[in-house]
Structure 1
Amino acid sequence: MEKFTKLKELLASVEADAEKFYNAGNSAAGTRVRKAMQDLKVLAQDIRAEVTEKKNSAK
């Protein structure tokens, strides 16, 4: 559950940069959004692996 909480916090932290990129055209904010999205992807993969491991160990 700790990783899921981290994922939510990361998504919330990138929201301001997404607003700046999409609404104000700030390209530096776009770079930060891309980095955050990559971090989210990695974290989501970790969560998937953890869930699968936990599910399979319960059998």
Structure 2
Amino acid sequence: MAKKANARKHSGLSAAGRFTPGELKGLGSCAAVVGVVTPCIWGFYRFVLKRVCEMLEIG
């Protein structure tokens, strides 16, 4: 019986089956990082693609 209670305690959900405020902050932080990094990667890709196309003299 103690194992079940311990498993529930560490399942990542509160007793009501909802995320805790700390977990929501963590998810928000991760979403913010993804939101910032993704456009940076996309911009670098477009920059490199443009340069390669210029070097190859295509489109």
Give yes or no for TM over 0.5.
yes
Structure 1 runs of 4+ aligned residues shifted over 4 Å read: none
Deviation per CA, 1:2-59: give whole Å up to 9, x if none: xxxxxxxxxxxxxxxxx736x5521211011101110111110110001000000012
Q: TM-score, normalised by structure 2?
A: 0.57
Residue of 41, 44, 48 corresponding to 1:50: 44
SS in structure 2 opposite 1:25?
Answer: coil
Q: Which has the larger radius of gyration?
A: 2
Query: What's 1:12 paired with?
Result: none
Secondary structure of 1:42's aligned partner = helix
Q: How many residues align?
A: 40
Stretches of structure 2 lacking an aligned partner (at least 5 in a row): 1-10, 54-59
Query: Which of 1 and 2 has higher RCO (CA within 8 Å, sep 6+)?
Result: 1
Unaligned 5+ segments in structure 1 are 1-18
Identity across matched positions, percent: 5
